[in-house]
């Protein structure tokens, strides 16, 4: 008798590059370009088309022969990494982020002969990150001027009329709309919101999910019964979550994370029937069986980016599983269109055990942890165990212990593992015995009947105990949140951060919402002399330990003047800036500027003028400089810091509060 164990996790070893999928056709219409979104269109006569966005165009591709797709129309768009397209009736609606010029409306009714842009609407917005269409209304979101949501009435499909602008959720990255309900994916807020749009002139926010530290609430879709929302988090922390939304005013997190074994980033997810079709960046096209949304299982994959399986922004961008033929369209950022058939596995066929990466499962308590497995057999389960061992921080694995289930609810077996301190790793595996004496372990490979699974498998699941705090920004430069430079100028942004709970920090820099730079504490902004000016750019830094985040933002005022870079680095006079933060404890940053190279002394004295300490002394080049003062050994009070250079003496006051 075959014994089946299923977890909320997914398989480490058995998820192949291509599984239960067949490539029917592909097309890379513009190899020198890149690609982003994909959508589909079916004529009233049943002829199918792919709508693929290249960096600078909407490519309309005839799928009459899906094995040999043909581009039949090419609609120019502003050049951008981000386009999104949806269809209403015989019209396609295309938006562009960062460099947009409004809403492009394309008439598809004359296909296959031609397709034409019939309108460009920019009276409400220029840039939009995404668009969703439901029941005669378009929802344009992530727009310039606040990042909120424009609701557009499409009664006249070539002249949409705005009924409302919604901004209560801040910047919105994506939405899903059904039954006068909008699910808002609120990006860096790390949460999802429900907005009632029964009155299209007065959207009302009615609930908000718990924020999940470290994630980016990116996108998602509702199950067809409209009970469960399955969300995608693009920062590779949890990847996919499942929420019970039976009551729109209450968010119940039923699956806290679903991840592939590879360290890859999820992008977008679309649900049809019992399957979620996912564009999973470098992992390609992935299919998740959500017949039981509380116990999802990966059942399909086609790798459009076989060169790598890393956490990079390459590979599959979008998916479209709604063609009448059943074919699924995938857009790959480098190689364009893929037409794929998903071959669903036979119902009732036992799937192999499946699990996520073992270092991604975390618990945020030092108390006892409950682990649940779903165990079933064609007869009955006569014995069940969870085996675990503890690896302390910096230590080695201890001996195996085992526990019996504390409760059994149907096929759900609940086990309790004793509490452990912060940063402890716990390895574990499940075992079950049926009434014929057969033993199955999860992961596979264990054996032994007394107790079940007494011989460990070669691989294990694991989790960590994390008591995470919020990263602390000790200092940042520029000190001022508002910086002015000429249009060929540059400025370097630097932060000094510390995690109080000994977790590694990740730095994510964004310029006008576009991710830039590397995982580093510094970012160099350069403005091109050919760029449009005057303008205001925004640099935003998120420092995260994977659980909690701290954000810092600067505004860059780019003037229309041009100044030689060398002049910009050599100020006209000596300046000593106010320390930041002020008041402070225990650290603060002092910054100063020199018009010429000079011998410099920076001293600190008390309010009476008695020198407390010399902060720095030496020969410094012209330009901007900074010093981080650590005042742990000083008492609270008012201090004076003095800059001396080439006979110039500048002073400022600072306040230390302990």
pLDDT, tens only, 409-454: 766 788 999 999 988 999 999 988 877 778 888 777 888 889 998 9
Q: pLDDT class for 402, splitting at 50, 70, 90?
A: very high
The predicted pLDDT at position 175 comes to 98
User: Residue 360 above 80 pLDDT?
Assistant: no
The predicted pLDDT at position 557 comes to 83
Cβ 473 vs Cβ 543: under 8 Å: yes
Q: pLDDT class for 12, splitting at 50, 70, 90?
A: very low
The predicted pLDDT at position 529 comes to 74
> b/e per residue, 46-65, with b = 16+ CB within 10 A?
eebbbbbbbbbbbbbbbbee
Average pLDDT value for residue range 272-289: 96
Average pLDDT value for residue range 289-308: 89
User: Residue 484 above 50 pLDDT?
Assistant: yes
Average pLDDT value for residue range 255-270: 87
Cβ neighbours of residue 200 under 8 Å, at least 6 residues apart? 137, 151, 153, 163, 164
Rounded distance, CA 444 to CA 455, Å? 11
Domains and CATH numbers, the chain: 34-167 (2.130.10.10), 361-465 (2.60.40), 468-568 (2.60.40.10), 570-658 (2.60.40.2550)
Cβ 395 vs Cβ 423: under 8 Å: no
Q: Which of 130-134, 216-220, 333-337, 517-521 has the lowest mean pLDDT?
A: 517-521
More confident residue, 73 or 448: 73
Q: Which of 351-355, 386-390, 445-449, 508-512 has the lowest mean pLDDT?
A: 351-355
Cβ neighbours of residue 351 under 8 Å, at least 6 residues apart? 6, 297, 299, 345
- Tens digit of pLDDT for each residue in 77-112? 999 999 999 999 999 999 999 999 999 999 999 999
The predicted pLDDT at position 347 comes to 60
The predicted pLDDT at position 454 comes to 93
The predicted pLDDT at position 582 comes to 78
Q: pLDDT class for 565, splitting at 50, 70, 90?
A: very low
Closest CA relative to residue 318, chosen from 102, 133, 18, 51: 51
User: Residue 152 above 90 pLDDT?
Assistant: yes
Q: What global pTM score does this model have? A: 0.61
The predicted pLDDT at position 36 comes to 97
Rounded distance, CA 125 to CA 117, Å? 18
Q: pLDDT class for 8, splitting at 50, 70, 90?
A: very low
Q: Which residues pair with 544 in a beta bridge?
A: 506, 549
- Tens digit of pLDDT for each residue in 300-342? 999 999 998 888 899 999 999 999 999 999 999 999 999 999 9
The predicted pLDDT at position 562 comes to 62
> b/e per residue, 6-37, with b = 16+ CB within 10 A?
bbbbbbbebbeeebbbeebbbbebbeebbbbb
User: Residue 2 above 50 pLDDT?
Assistant: no
């Amino acid at each position: 008798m075959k014994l089946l164990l299923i977890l909320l996790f997914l398989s480490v070893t058995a998820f192949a590059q291509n599984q239960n999928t067949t490539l029917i056709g592909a097309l890379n219409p513009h190899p020198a370009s890149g690609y982003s979104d994909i959508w589909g269109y079916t004529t009233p006569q049943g002829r199918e088309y792919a709508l693929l966005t290249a960096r600078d165009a909407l490519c309309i591709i005839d799928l009459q022969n899906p094995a040999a797709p043909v581009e039949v129309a090419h609609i120019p768009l502003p050049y951008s990494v981000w386009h999104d397209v949806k269809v209403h009736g015989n019209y396609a609606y295309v938006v562009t982020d960062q460099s947009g010029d409004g809403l492009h409306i394309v008439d598809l009714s004359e296909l296959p002969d031609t397709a034409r842009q019939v309108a460009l609407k920019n009276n409400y917005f220029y840039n939009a990150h995404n668009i969703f269409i439901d029941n005669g209304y378009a929802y344009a979101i992530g727009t310039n001027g606040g990042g909120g949501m424009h609701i557009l009435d499409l009664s006249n499909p070539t002249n949409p009329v705005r009924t409302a602008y919604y901004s209560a959720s801040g910047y919105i990255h994506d939405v899903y709309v059904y039954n006068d309900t909008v699910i808002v994916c609120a990006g860096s807020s790390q949460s999802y919101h429900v907005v009632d749009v029964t009155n299209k002139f007065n959207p009302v926010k009615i609930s908000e999910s718990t924020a999940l530290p470290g994630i980016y609430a990116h996108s998602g879709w509702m199950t067809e019964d409209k009970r469960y929302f399955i969300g995608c988090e693009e920062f590779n922390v949890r990847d996919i979550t499942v929420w019970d939304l039976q009551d729109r005013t209450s968010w119940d997190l039923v699956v806290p994370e679903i991840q592939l074994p590879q360290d890859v980033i999820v992008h977008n997810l679309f649900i049809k029937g019992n399957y979620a079709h996912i564009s999973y960046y470098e992992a390609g096209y992935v299919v998740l069986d959500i017949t039981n949304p509380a116990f999802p299982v990966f059942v399909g994959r086609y790798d459009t980016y076989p060169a790598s399986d890393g956490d990079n922004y390459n590979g599959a961008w979008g998916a479209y599983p709604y063609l009448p033929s059943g074919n699924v369209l995938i857009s790959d950022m480098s190689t364009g269109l893929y037409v794929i058939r998903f071959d669903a596995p036979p119902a009732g066929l036992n799937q192999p055990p499946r699990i996520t990466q073992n270092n991604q499962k975390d618990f945020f308590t030092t108390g006892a942890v409950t682990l649940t497995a779903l165990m079933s057999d064609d007869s009955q389960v006569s014995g069940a165990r969870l085996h675990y061992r503890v690896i302390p921080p910096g230590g080695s694995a201890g001996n195996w212990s085992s526990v019996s289930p504390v409760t059994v609810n149907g096929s759900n077996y609940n086990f309790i593992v004793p509490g452990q301190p912060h940063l402890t790793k716990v390895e574990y595996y499940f075992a079950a015995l049926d009434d014929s004496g057969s033993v199955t372990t999860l992961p596979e490979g264990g054996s032994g009947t007394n107790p079940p699974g007494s011989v460990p498998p070669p691989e294990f699941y694991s989790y960590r105990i994390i008591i995470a705090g919020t990263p602390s920004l000790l200092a940042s430069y520029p000190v001022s949140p508002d910086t002015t430079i000429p249009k060929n100028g540059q400025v370097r942004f630097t932060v000094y951060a510390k995690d109080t709970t000994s977790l590694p920090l990740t730095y994510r820099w964004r310029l006008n919402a576009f991710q830039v730079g590397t995982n580093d504490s510094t970012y160099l902004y350069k403005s091109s002399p050919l760029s449009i000016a005057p303008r205001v750019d925004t640099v935003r830094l998120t420092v995260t330990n994977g659980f909690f985040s701290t954000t810092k933002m600067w505004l860059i005022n780019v003037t229309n003047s041009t100044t030689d870079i060398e002049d910009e680095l050599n100020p006209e006079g000596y300046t000593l800036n106010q320390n930041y933060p002020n008041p402070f404890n225990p650290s603060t940053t002092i910054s100063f500027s020199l018009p010429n190279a000079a011998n410099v002394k920076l001293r600190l004295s008390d309010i009476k003028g008695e020198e407390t300490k010399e902060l720095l002394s030496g020969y410094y080049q012209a330009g901007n400089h900074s010093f981080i003062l650590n005042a742990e050994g000083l008492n609270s009070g008012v201090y004076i810091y003095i800059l001396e250079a080439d006979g110039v003496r500048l002073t400022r006051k600072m306040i230390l509060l302990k």
